[in-house]
Structures are given as structure tokens and as C-alpha cells.
Structure 1
Amino acid sequence: MRTTLLLELLAVPGAVRTVRRELRRHLGDGCGDAQLCASELLSNVILHVGAGAPVTVQVTGGCDGRTWLAVTDPEPSAMPVRRTACRDEERGRGLALLEAVALRWGVRRGSGSKTVWCELLRE
């Protein structure tokens, strides 16, 4: 059976904590990778689209041991770019972290939105 969590909120720093808490409530204790990816994707919206942008976080878990996580924002032109951060930089590692823990990830553009998604193995 597939279960879906849908959260509609504003991309502000406090929302990261809310999403992490709701993921734990929905997925249970073994959701560290999902929490990490959601935090990174939501932080990217705050940084690159702007604080206060409306976002939708969708998480679907199935009996196949996989979790699908997606963050949708209203800016289709602000595409994520994986970069290599220098050792002393405080930013620039989010997509590398996502790539390291996800089975796969990608971006879907809509006419007035963009969705960054990833697929994870349940812990």
C-alpha cells in the first residue's frame, strides 16, 4: 500500500523543521535520508527562489521499500545546479548530498513551477 504526505507551506527557515517533523511522523524513525533531502531541497528554494515562496512537499512511500520525495516551487527558471564546493565554503554541497543518498533524482518543469524530486531506499 502506498501512503502519501502532502504539505503546502511557505519556504521559510522554520518550515524546514516542520517538514522534518512531519516526515518523521509519516515515515517513522528510519527517515533520516528523507529528512536530509527535504531539508536540502527546501533550503535551495529559500536561497535561490526566495524566502516566502509557496512550496509543496510530497512524500510517497510504498511497500517496495522506496520513498519518493518531491519539492515544488513557483520558479521554473531557477534550476538546481550541482557544484563542487571548496573545503572552506559553507554552501554548495546540497545536491552532492542528495546525489549521495538518493537512488536517483531529477527535475520536472511545469508552465509555472518546477519540481525537484528524489527516490530513496527506506532505512
Structure 2
Amino acid sequence: MTFELDLLAVPKAVPEVRRLLRHHSCEVRLCASELLTNVIDHLGEGTPVTVRVLVTDHGHTRVEVTDPDPRALPVLLRATTTDESGRGLALLDAMAQRWGVEQGVDRKTVWCELEAPGQGTATLPHGRGSGGPPQRWP
């Protein structure tokens, strides 16, 4: 089953998306929240986005957020204990099997994949999210 929602990235949309995803795991809801919050923080309130949750051919859950700015790429930071922000992608990187960015001419999609409940942990050859080109499953 695929979930897809077009909306404006505004702070009140974050809890609404979590509510709409209430039948998914807390990890899915958290990843969708973090990806949506990144759009608000880095592109600005009111940016049009599409949030998608789908199951891959490998049985993983994929969370995607597409926005209209292919140039503003996510950067995985290592926040210090005194930093007030900068932990969103680190949290996503810790939870996801892998994550990445797909760039188009007039948009980008930031995505992550989570293992389905009950699956074992997969080992990826290059770590999780590099922020580089999407990693492919063998």
C-alpha cells in the first residue's frame, strides 16, 4: 500500500502527517517528520512537497519527501551536545537501512528505507546514507 500526500511544508503539517501515518511504525512517522522538517528549516515555510511511503520490492518501507529545489542538498552533520539543531539526518541515518537523494532538473527527493518489522539487519557495502548517489541493493 502506498501513501502519497501533496502539501505545503509548514510546522502544523508535521503532526498532521504523523497522524495520517498512524498505522505505520513510529520509525516511519519519525523519518517522515524529520524529512518534512528539513524542508521547512532549509527551504522555508510554504514550500510545496510530496510525502510518500511505500513498500519496496525487497519488502523494506521507503519514506520519500520531494521538494522543488534540486540544489539544496541534505548534509549529515555531527551535532555537538550544545548544538540546538542538526540532529535530524543523524537520527534518520541511525534508523534507516540506507538513505539518499534523487535529483531531477526541477526537484529532488530525499528518501530513506527502513527494514520491515521482523526482518534481520542488512549490511550495506558503503554504510547508510552518504548523501551521495542512491545506493543499490545487491
CA shift in 2, pair 1:108/1:64, >3 Å:
closer
Specify the alignment match of 1:100 in structure 2. 94
> Residue 24 of structure 1: SS of its match in structure 2?
coil
Q: How many residues align?
A: 117
Specify the alignment match of 1:57 in structure 2. 51
CA shift in 2, pair 1:12/1:103, >3 Å:
same
Specify the alignment match of 1:32 in structure 2. 26
Q: Distance in 2 between matches of 1:22 and 1:122?
A: 19
- The C-alpha deviation readout for 1:18-71, integer Å capped at 9, x for no partner, is 11111114x3xxx11011111111000000011000000011036964211100
Specify the alignment match of 1:12 in structure 2. 10
| Uncovered stretches (5+) of structure 2, i.e. residues with no partner | 118-138
Larger helix proportion, structure 1 or 2? 1
Q: Distance in 2 between matches of 1:90 and 1:52?
A: 23
Match of 1:77 among 71, 74, 82: 71
The structure showing larger relative contact order (alpha-carbon pairs under 8 Å, at least 6 residues apart) is: 1
| Uncovered stretches (5+) of structure 1, i.e. residues with no partner | none
RMSD: 1.4
Please identify runs of 4+ aligned residues in structure 1 that moved more than 3 A.
62-65
Give me the TM-score of the superposition, normalised by structure 2: 0.80
Give me the TM-score of the superposition, normalised by structure 1: 0.89
> Residue 7 of structure 1: SS of its match in structure 2?
strand
